[in-house]
Amino acid sequence: MILGIETSCDDTCAAVVSDAGEIRSNVIASQGLLHSRYGGVVPEIASRHHLELLDAVTADALERAGVDLDEIETVAVTRSPGLIGALLVGVSSAKALAAARRLPLVPVDHLHGHVVASTLQPDPIEPPYLCLVASGGHTFLARVDSESGYEVLGQTLDDAAGEAFDKGARLLGLGYPGGPELDRLAREGDPEAFDFPRATPGDLDFSFSGLKTALLYKLRDEPDAERADVAASYQRAIVDALVSRTRKALDREGLRKLAIGGGVAANSELRAAVEQLGVPVWVPPPELCTDNAAIIAAGARFLERVAYPGYLDLDASPN
Q: Which residues sit at the interface with other proteins, rule CB under 8 A?
A: 37-39, 42, 44-45, 47-48, 51-52, 54-56, 59, 69, 84-85, 88-89, 91-101, 309, 312-316
- We find the least distance from the C-beta atom of residue 181 to other proteins, in angstroms, to be 18
Start-end of H helices in 100-201: 110-115, 161-171, 178-186
- Kindly give, in sequence order, each residue whose CB lies less than 8 Å from that of residue 146, ignoring residues fewer than 6 positions away: 127, 302
Could you tell me if 120 and 21 are in contact, meaning their C-beta atoms sit under 8 angstroms apart? Answer: yes
Q: What is the DSSP letter of 117?
A: G
291 binds Zn ion (CB under 5 A): yes
State the binding partner of 232 from other proteins, Zn ion, none, CB within 5 to 8 A by kind.
none
- We find the least distance from the C-beta atom of residue 98 to other proteins, in angstroms, to be 8
Amino acid at residue number 196:
F
- We find the least distance from the C-beta atom of residue 130 to Zn ion, in angstroms, to be 18
Interface positions, 107-146, toward Zn ion (CB under 5 A): 135
State the binding partner of 291 from Zn ion, other proteins, none, CB within 5 to 8 A by kind.
Zn ion
Give the three-class secondary structure for 122. Answer: coil
Tell me whether the omega of the peptide bond preceding residue 43 falls within 30 degrees of 0, making it cis.
no
- We find the least distance from the C-beta atom of residue 222 to other proteins, in angstroms, to be 26
Which helix (H) or strand (E) is 295 found in, with range?
A: helix 294-300
Could you tell me if 279 and 15 are in contact, meaning their C-beta atoms sit under 8 angstroms apart? Answer: no
Residue 83 vs 171, nearer CB to Zn ion: 83
- We find the least distance from the C-beta atom of residue 138 to Zn ion, in angstroms, to be 6
Radius of gyration of the chain (CA): 20
Residue 205 vs 291, nearer CB to Zn ion: 291
Where does this chain bind Zn ion (CB under 5 A)? 135, 291
